[in-house]
Amino acid sequence: MTAALPWHPCGVNLADSAFLRACRRQPVPHTPVWYMRQAGRSLPEYLRVREGVPMLTACSTPDMIVEITMQPVRRYGVDAAIFFSDIVVPLKAIGVDLDIKPGVGPVVADPIRDAKGLRTLRPLEPDDIPYVTEAIQALTGELGGTPLIGFAGAPFTLGSYLIEGGPSKNHDKTKAMMYGEPELWHALMERLSEIVLTHLRLQVAAGASAVQLFDSWVGAVAPADYREFVLPHTRRIFEGLTGVPRIHFGVGTGELLGLLGEAGADVVGVDWRVPLDEAGRRVGPGRALQGNLDPAVLLAPWEVVERKAREVLRQGRAAEGHVFNLGHGVLPSTDPDQLKRLTDLVHEAG
Ligand code: CP3
């Protein structure tokens, strides 16, 4: 695998960026900040670009990917860009019949529930997603000294969409396979891990300076089950990826934070339910933390946002490195002006 170049072609030393330094637990001039789902439906300029264009078309059109990835960097001055795509893009690219339905999320036509379904999941080849490489190469030029975060969905979260056929509250069919057919489950997780690794390595080779693994729905799993059914796979992914900081995020993972620490990422993302000082104790030493303002706080008056953000910054000081973020993605009804003010506040106060 190609390690990310510390020197950007235009002479900016990316390794000196506050974001990459915080991920590596090095001293920073200010607390770096970016937002999960910073590119997207709360931005009027995003809505204009996306008008009449289906989500998966946007995700496979390099010009659109570059423009949408740049929008929040221009507007907010965040310390990192996140590649505009979706966790299901590599699955679509290997032939899974799926779509992203507005207001719903990914929907899979033929859910995978048996060995025959599993065989339809072939390995991902770089040629399947040429638009990802092309867009990342263009972005590293546009971004200058701002690092680009590549990402993938984790095997559990991708597996849940494939098994359930769409978004799920209880992940019941997913758990039924996990408990009832453990061999099939592990075979599915292994196949998905291969796809994820290829996808992340390709993004790093093209110029991504860090990667985030989104295991958004893994909070549905109890710690003992996480250890048996999920941890071996996420650990293999992080072991297979070196050279750039690796961030590991899930929602509702309060009881799993110690195990996320064991999975091997450099940075553990924390949702809003556990204060960062307590999260640090649970994750253990040798990891930076990312998070964790409740995204709903941004819908309250600015005075509330400021008070709560300062609290997150204060609790984050206990961590060996802190990347300010929300506890989950930006909500569509968020006023972009609040995010701009929050970004400035973190830079000044942190
Ligand atoms: O963070 C960013 O700004 C980068 C872009 C990004 C998207 N999806 C764009 C998107 C990222 C990092 C994702 C990851 C993703 N996708 C996750 C993990 C992060 C998380 O929120 O937990 C998950 C679980 C998905 C699956 C998915 N795709 C969902 C749940 C949805 C939302 C459905 C809805 O409309 O409420 C999508 C669609 C999606 N992905 C949109 C965007 C901008 C909305 C599409 C639209 O505009 O119609």
Distance 249 CA to ligand 1 centre (A): 14
Q: Would 122 be classed as within a structural domain?
A: yes
Give pLDDT, residue 6. 47
Distance 177 CA to ligand 1 centre (A): 25
Q: Would 46 be classed as within a structural domain?
A: yes
Q: 36 is in which domain, residue-wise?
A: 18-349
Query: Looking at the predicted structure, is the pLDDT value of residue 5 above 50?
Result: no
Q: Would 2 be classed as within a structural domain?
A: no
User: Which residue's structure tokens are 């968020």?
Assistant: 334
Give pLDDT, residue 3. 45
Total number of domains constituting the chain: 1
pLDDT digits (tens, 9 = 90+) for 74-91: 999 999 999 999 999 999
Q: Would 5 be classed as within a structural domain?
A: no
Q: Would 6 be classed as within a structural domain?
A: no
Distance 333 CA to ligand 1 centre (A): 15
C-alpha span between 346 and 325 (Å, rounded) = 10
Q: Which atom of ligand 1 is nearest to the CA of 35?
A: 1
> Which residue among 74, 84, 87, 212 is best mutated to probe the pocket of ligand 1, counting the most ligand atoms within 8 A of its Cβ?
87
Which of 21, 25, 50, 282 is flagged as catalytic? 50
| 179 in active site | no
Among 99, 93, 80, 96, CA closest to 133: 93
Q: Would 129 be classed as within a structural domain?
A: yes
Ligand 1, residues at Cβ distance < 6 Å? 36-41, 50, 55, 82, 84, 86-87, 100, 102-106, 151, 157, 214, 216, 329
pLDDT digits (tens, 9 = 90+) for 138-178: 999 999 999 999 999 999 999 999 999 999 999 999 999 99
pLDDT digits (tens, 9 = 90+) for 240-266: 999 999 999 999 999 999 999 999 999
Dihedral over alpha carbons 325, 330, 334, 340 (to 10 degrees): 40
> Which residue among 100, 164, 211 is best mutated to probe the pocket of ligand 1, counting the most ligand atoms within 8 A of its Cβ?
100
Q: Whose CA is nearest to atom 23 of ligand 1?
A: 87
- How much is the pTM? 0.95
Give pLDDT, residue 4. 46
Which residues does 298 contact at the CB level (< 8 Å), separation at least 6?
Answer: 305, 326, 330, 331, 334, 335, 338, 339, 342
SS3 104: coil
Question: To which H or E segment does residue 58 belong?
Answer: helix 55-58
Give pLDDT, residue 11. 52
C-alpha span between 201 and 197 (Å, rounded) = 6
> Which residue among 38, 56, 66, 86 is best mutated to probe the pocket of ligand 1, counting the most ligand atoms within 8 A of its Cβ?
86
Distance 86 CA to ligand 1 centre (A): 6
* Residue 30: strand pairing partners: none
| 37 in active site | yes
* Residue 323: strand pairing partners: 290
Q: Whose CA is nearest to atom 10 of ligand 1?
A: 86
What is the CATH classification number for the domain harbouring 155? 3.20.20.210
Q: Whose CA is nearest to atom 22 of ligand 1?
A: 216
Among 9, 146, 8, CA closest to 75: 146
Task: Report the relative pairing of strands 98-101 and 105-108 from DSSP bridges.
Answer: antiparallel
* Residue 13 pLDDT level (bands cut at 50, 70, 90): confident
Q: Would 182 be classed as within a structural domain?
A: yes
Assess contact for 212 and 82: CB atoms under 8 A.
yes
Give pLDDT, residue 350. 72
- Alpha carbon of residue 176 to chain centroid: 26
C-alpha span between 70 and 53 (Å, rounded) = 18
Task: Report the relative pairing of strands 267-269 and 288-293 from DSSP bridges.
Answer: parallel
Q: Would 13 be classed as within a structural domain?
A: no
Give pLDDT, residue 12. 63
Whole-Å CA distances, 338 to 126, 314, 332: 39, 20, 13
SS3 292: strand
Query: Looking at the predicted structure, is the pLDDT value of residue 33 above 50?
Result: yes
Assess contact for 215 and 251: CB atoms under 8 A.
no
Average pLDDT over residues 97-103: 95
Query: Looking at the predicted structure, is the pLDDT value of residue 15 above 90?
Result: no
